[in-house]
Amino acid sequence: MIPAIGLGTFRLKGQEVIDSVTNALELGYRHIDTAQVYDNESEVGQAIADSDVPREDIFLTTKVWTDRFRHTELVESVRESLDRLGTDYVDLLLLHWPSPDGVPIEETIGALAEAKQLGLTRQIGVSNFTIAQLDEVLSVGGGDQIVTNQIEVHPFLANRKLADHCAARGVKVTGYMPLAVGKVMEDDTLKAIGEAHGVTAAQIALAWVAQRDIIVIPSSTKREHQQANLAAMKLSLSDEEMTRIDALDRGERIANPSFAPEWDE
């Protein structure tokens, strides 16, 4: 079971990420998300080690970067991540993006499943995989062990077609950038709904994602924002409010690097 809310650490470095993880754990977060390419695994690991929260109570995710997708390279990269994180295992290991280099998916998923078999990770999944790519993953050896597809989800990119397909295939959706890098705070609809509930537009955005049965991993460096994000998980939006937020979808994709796949529209 992946906790419904986690702390994202994308773009957080050095003392900033240490403080962010430390505050989050003190406030009650038990799900921390990092990645090899974030270049902050050591700091995340330090914050976890220095925390009073036992390691077994923390759900820790990291992601393998695309340059380590060959079988032996992938397993070795996970061992390196564990060394940096100062732990014997992660709870969830993801492929960060589909391979831009044409590494056969059978090889990569096989290596991911082997990492799980070796006890380096408890669960495995993917990130930024399209409908066709997810179906391919699920069809190869080890693919039946995939538990989540981590994708961009926020009110301006509902990503509904892909999210619905994941659900239909029994794959949980984890939504990153749920606050659209702060843009939700400027939206009049979200602000109006927030005022009706006595909360912020950001909290409404998180509640909307969570109410779609999607895990949220907002990034935040401020303790009060982290606390507000946690509180958003207790909000309940009406069908009418959900529909109003649904109407904000404009296909506004933020994470779209040159090597990204051809997205589902």
Which residue ranges form the domains of the chain, and what is each CATH number?
7-181+213-220 (3.20.20.100)
Distance of CA 141 to the CA centre of its chain: 24
| Position 77 confidence tier, pLDDT thresholds 50, 70, 90 | very high
pLDDT beyond 90 at 265: no
Mean per-residue pLDDT over the chain, rounded: 98
Rounded (10°) CA dihedral 177, 233, 150, 87: 100
Sheet of 172-176, strand order: 7-8, 31-33, 59-64, 90-95, 121-127, 146-152, 172-176, 215-216
pLDDT tens for each residue of 89-138: 999 999 999 999 999 999 999 999 999 999 999 999 999 999 999 999 99
Confidence at 205, pLDDT banded by 50, 70, 90 = very high
Q: DSSP 3-state assignment of 68? A: helix
- pTM metric for this prediction: 0.97
Active site residue 29: no
Exposure pattern of 82-100 as b/e (b: 16+ CB <10 Å)?
bebbebebbbbbbbbbbbe
* Structure confidence by residue, pLDDT tens digits, 210-258: 999 999 999 999 999 999 999 999 999 999 999 999 999 999 999 999 9
Average pLDDT of the segment spanning 58-73: 98
- pLDDT mean over 172-198: 98
**pLDDT on residue 23:** 98
Residue 234 CA, distance from chain mean position = 20
Q: What's phi and psi for 248, nearest 5 deg?
A: -80, -10
Q: How far apart are CA 242 and CA 247, in angstroms?
A: 9
SS3 letters across 40-51: CHHHHHHHHHHC
Catalytic residue selected from 29, 38, 89, 176: 38
CA–CA separation, 38 and 35 (whole Å) = 5
